[in-house]
A and B are shown apart, each in its own frame.
Chain A
């Protein structure tokens, strides 16, 4: 299985809502990532988990809260978002840093709209 799955595909939420994005991989990867991508821009790294521990937080506002319950799952909890947070949210996974081929495999993304 060489796939990263993400749910939901689309999400519309109000600024007072709480929602979660989910990501799953079964490739045995031990690093997982959240990216945010605005239209016509490259992906921007938000968080990195390595061996289920948060290793990088790119100064992301606290209204985004990541969670890695186990080596296959990655969640992104959303609360009190702003309209400018509307974007495509991509999850990725890879082998650990020291591996030769640690290319990141991306999921299909969740298209988030904040009203």
Chain B
């Protein structure tokens, strides 16, 4: 059974600094997803990572995947306030997404 663990669960960030969220998964997952959720809103797809060594970047966010270590990271560069949200990683088990617990990001001025 696929299990997905994220850490940290809460991240208080200062504007302008860099941070990383880690996502470990327990068994083979042929895709790794990152989603963002704003309070009271739905989930927005950020990245889909398909293969070992995959790296994708969008603005201040960069996601990478190491399938051998069963680890994905979401790197935040020079945090800004509008990045405050909850970020979920998810692995795939057949037609099911298995989500991590989520990381709450808060950016302080």
CA distance A105 to B42 in the complex (A): 10
Most buried by A among B42, B45, B100: B42
A90-B43 CB under 8 A given contacts A103-B33, A103-B48: yes
Find B42's partner among A55, A56, A102, A107 (CB 8 Å cutoff).
Answer: A107
Contact B33 A106 (CB under 8 A): no
Is B94 an interface residue when CB atoms closer than 8 A count as contact?
yes
Contact A45 B48 (CB under 8 A): no
CA distance A109 to B43 in the complex (A): 9
Q: Which residues of A contact B102 (CB under 8 A)?
A: 40-42
Contact B96 A108 (CB under 8 A): no
Contact A104 B50 (CB under 8 A): no
CA distance A43 to B75 in the complex (A): 23
Contact A45 B42 (CB under 8 A): no
Interface size on A, residues (CB 8 A): 24
Is B68 an interface residue when CB atoms closer than 8 A count as contact?
no
Interface size on B, residues (CB 8 A): 20
Most buried by B among A56, A92, A104: A104
Q: Which residues of B contact A55 (CB under 8 A)?
A: 95
Q: Which residues of A contact B43 (CB under 8 A)?
A: 43, 90, 92, 106
Contact A56 B48 (CB under 8 A): no
**What are 28 A-B contacts defined by CB distance under 8 Å?**
A31-B95, A41-B101, A42-B99, A42-B102, A43-B43, A43-B88, A43-B97, A43-B99, A45-B96, A45-B97, A50-B95, A56-B94, A56-B95, A56-B96, A97-B94, A102-B31, A103-B33, A103-B48, A104-B97, A106-B35, A106-B42, A106-B43, A106-B45, A107-B42, A108-B42, A109-B41, A109-B42, A111-B40
Which A residues fall within an 8 A CB radius of B?
31, 40-43, 45, 48, 50, 55-56, 90, 92, 97, 100-109, 111
Top 6 A-B pairs ranked by shortest CB distance? A42-B99, A106-B43, A106-B42, A103-B48, A108-B42, A97-B95
